[in-house]
Amino acid sequence: MAGALRSRTRRNMKDAKPLAVDASSSEPTSDLEIYSKEVLSSLIADNLPPTPNNFSLYFDKLLEDKSENLRKQIASVLELEEDNDNENSIMLEQSLKQGFSSVKNILGVTANLYKNMSLMTKILEKRKRELASNTEIQEAVGIVASLENDIAKLNSILKKQSANMKSMYDETAKIVKNVENETIFDNKFGVYNKRYLLSKIEREIELVKEFKHKSSLIMIELDNGLKDSVDNDKAIMLMTKTVARLLLKTSRRSDTVAHYGEGVFAMLLKHTDIGSSLRASERLCELVSNSNFFLSDREIQLKISIGITDVFVDASVEEIVVDGMNGMKEAYGNAKIDFAISLKTKSKLAKNE
Handedness of CA 123, 126, 128, 130 (dihedral sign): negative
Per-residue pLDDT band at 18 (split at 50, 70, 90)? very low
Asked if pLDDT for residue 5 goes beyond 70, the answer is no
Specify the higher pLDDT residue, 207 or 86: 207
**Are 304 and 243 contacting, i.e. CB atoms less than 8 angstroms apart?**
yes
Per-residue pLDDT band at 242 (split at 50, 70, 90)? very high
Segment 61-75 shows an average pLDDT of 84
- Three-class DSSP category at 257: strand
Supply the pLDDT for residue 104: 77
Supply the pLDDT for residue 4: 38
**Are 319 and 258 contacting, i.e. CB atoms less than 8 angstroms apart?**
no
Supply the pLDDT for residue 87: 63
Asked if pLDDT for residue 82 goes beyond 70, the answer is no
* Mean pLDDT lowest among 57-71, 81-95, 248-262, 296-310: 81-95
Backbone angles phi, psi at 340, to 5 degrees: -150, 145
Encode pLDDT of 301-334 as tens digits.
999 999 999 999 999 999 999 999 999 999 988 8
108: closest CA among 165, 44, 70?
A: 165
Q: Give residue 25's Cα distance to chain centre.
A: 45
Backbone angles phi, psi at 257, to 5 degrees: -105, 125
Q: Which domains does the chain have, with CATH numbers?
A: 2-80 (no CATH), 86-180 (1.10.287), 189-352 (3.30.70.270)
Strand partners, 218: 267, 308
Enumerate residues 6+ apart whose C-beta is below 8 A from 264.
219, 220, 221, 325, 328
* Number of other residues whose CB lies within 10 A of the CB of residue 117: 18
Specify the higher pLDDT residue, 235 or 335: 235
* Mean pLDDT lowest among 86-90, 158-162, 238-242: 86-90
Strand partners, 308: 218, 341
Q: How far is CA 181 from CA 88, 185, 318, in A?
A: 18, 11, 19
Per-residue pLDDT band at 221 (split at 50, 70, 90)? very high
Question: Over pLDDT 70: what percentage of the chain?
Answer: 85
Nearest 5°: the CA angle 197, 256, 316 is 40
Alpha-carbon dihedral of residues 171, 172, 174, 175, nearest 10 degrees? 120
* Mean pLDDT lowest among 30-34, 80-84, 181-185: 80-84
Specify the higher pLDDT residue, 256 or 137: 256
**Are 344 and 327 contacting, i.e. CB atoms less than 8 angstroms apart?**
no
* Mean pLDDT lowest among 113-117, 189-193, 274-278: 113-117
Residue-averaged pLDDT of the chain: 82
Handedness of CA 235, 240, 241, 242 (dihedral sign): positive
Asked if pLDDT for residue 66 goes beyond 70, the answer is yes
Asked if pLDDT for residue 94 goes beyond 90, the answer is no
Q: How far apart are CA 179 and CA 175, in angstroms?
A: 6
Q: How far apart are CA 107 and CA 103, in angstroms?
A: 6
Q: What is the widest separation between alpha-carbon atoms in the chain? A: 113
348: closest CA among 274, 288, 293?
A: 274
Enumerate residues 6+ apart whose C-beta is below 8 A from 7.
none
Q: How far apart are CA 173 and CA 101, in angstroms?
A: 10
Enumerate residues 6+ apart whose C-beta is below 8 A from 299.
292, 293
Per-residue pLDDT band at 197 (split at 50, 70, 90)? very high
